[in-house]
Structure 1
Amino acid sequence: MKGHPAIFLFLVLILSVPFYLLGAGGGRLAGLPILPTSALMTFVPMIAALVLIYRRHGADGAVALLGRAIDFKKPCGAGWY
């Protein structure tokens, strides 16, 4: 059974707000070259997916999701690039 997309979108929104507010205030993180703090929102959808998968399927589900997202075994064809 698949989850409801509204829950995922709501979680992404909630997790993005702190980065947005810090970025809107001109905040920058030390060590990031010229990137605003809000640039870290790039990782929020994956974090939200991991949270929801972990709640439903536990650590095994989260590891499986990461395994599908980061797959170094399969070579990519030239069409991918």
Structure 2
Amino acid sequence: MIVQITVVSAVRGHLWEFDFTLGNGEGKLFEGTISLDEAIGFANRADLSPFAEMCRTIKATPSGEFSWLVGRIFTNDS
């Protein structure tokens, strides 16, 4: 599984959203959006998937550095 953050945006100036794609290495299977609060909720789960790793990275990143996450890729190998 491959997860990539494609867009980071501030909605109404204070709510953060992260667009991402999820694929299997052969192509994009799913596009979605997750809010900062949802990412924090997933980050707190005992899950080893690339999606959970993305959420833990979002949780650990200061909001002033969220734009640096665009293009970041998470895989089963990371």
Q: TM-score range by the shorter chain?
A: under 0.3
Q: Which one has a larger percent helix, Structure 1 or Structure 2?
A: 1
Q: TM-score, normalised by structure 2?
A: 0.27
TM-score (norm 1): 0.26
